[in-house]
Chain A
């Protein structure tokens, strides 16, 4: 009878241990899987993938001096990129013996991830710059200014905003917010700017709630001490509450950054999805999640592997930033 109990106890403990370990296994598997799937692209392009802005371009290897059909090199500096049209143009100008023949043996498709990487970083930065002041204002309102029942209602409203699925932000953003943005700033309706601003609206409630929670950890006596000296509400918030909860607030912001990096659907509607480095904020471009969302379906071979490479980079950056926020700022009691 007691042995039976011990057995169940042991089993229960083991089962829960196994469940918990699945998390570890999962993260490990994700990294490995992404790495394995990205391996062909990593092998082919190496770290230059990160600074190369040509995506899906035909490249031809030429030796300028000898115009030989050369050996392909991993060093992209030795490979000149031409579109097929360019090659035809060059050939049109060249003498017969200087013509470049384009065939299977001397061309390959090059993938470079700079554009989506830049797009991911820039949309996130725009989102942060836009949402930070508003989110701080809301947090201050909820934590210190609003009377209790208003604070509750507004707090719930902010959390509902956070609950709205990202695809809805995409729909609303594209058909309603973006037109308003372009009215003020000009430019394209699908652009880095519009994507960044809609992303900003998405992370707004997140930053606001977390900041409010941090602010609320300030002990009441500390605040009362400051008021007892004749401080105004602004001074108490500025000199007491913010310094006291500074670590938590910064952690929340970094965490929001980590989340925004991985946002797909809202950005997919609004960024334009072209592998072109934007010459202005109001021009379309692409981000890593959007590159995946729109291109993965039809991709294969090196193209698919390159998308996995991008995904691996995204996961690595996102994981690092979130870990950074957690371990340095958001220490739990």
Chain B
């Protein structure tokens, strides 16, 4: 059962003549890591950002098709492209979280950062907040490093720690799906390794989609891989198949570095 089922999805940016995404059909499988790979400009970030409808912050974009989201709690399937009310948007984003390319710590303390999503969803009880924050920090392997300075500003952390902070912040609200947009591209190799480990652990509870331009990363951590080119999904399969036995010529060219 896919956590997100993308069907015939097309997307055009506001004011653009060209279609950015062309009839994409793709499942994001539950409790698995699906990576989106492809050359720059292929639309992988555009696709990812459609999954939590963050595009809608900027008006005028056009989309067609369907993206079905399976809500674990209510056991209902919702087409997220039909969401219109602000309430529904908020609910969607609490279920489908996002981590960005650059770490984005909020201008507040470490504790307040993690607690932010919880507070705005109405949790006020101090001990409940404390528990959930601690849990999120433990799950993102950050707790030991920050437990003595929870009330220091989040900007005092290193970039690797900041990115783990953003992950902790996102998982604190217990989402069903997490979207990662090139999460390690601005980090050093050691921090990258730590985050990759973290993502692999998270998949036990959360379904994950990750955009990466690093093929090794995709082959290391993901269960499924989707290769895109110029807005079209060229091939989607289990990761080992994509890398060891690609069906499409374009896929093979990209993986072997022959792409032009």
Contact = CB atoms under 8 A, between A and B. Distances in A.
Direct contact of A and B (CB under 8 A): yes
A contact face: mostly helix, strand, loop, or mixed: helix
Interface string A217-252: 001011111111111100100011001100000000
Interface residues of B, number: 28
Contacts of B169: 229
Contact of A226 (B52, B94, B102, B106): B106
A297 interface: no
A298 interface: no
Interface string B68-93: 00000000000000000010011111
B173 interface: yes
A229 B94 contact: yes
A243 B120 contact: no
A301 interface: no
A246 to B, nearest CB: 8
Contacts, number: 66
A266 B240 CA distance: 76
Interface residues of A, number: 19
Contact of B107 (A221, A224, A235, A240): A240
Contacts of A228: 52, 54, 93, 97-98, 100, 170
B90 A232 contact: yes
B116 to A, nearest CB: 6
A224 B93 contact: no
Given A230-B91, A232-B86, A225 B117 contact: no
A244 B108 CA distance: 9
Interface of B: 52, 54, 57, 59, 86, 89-94, 97-98, 100-102, 104, 106-108, 116-117, 120-121, 166, 169-170, 173
11 contacts: A224-B57, A224-B100, A225-B98, A228-B52, A228-B100, A230-B92, A230-B93, A230-B120, A232-B86, A240-B106, A240-B107
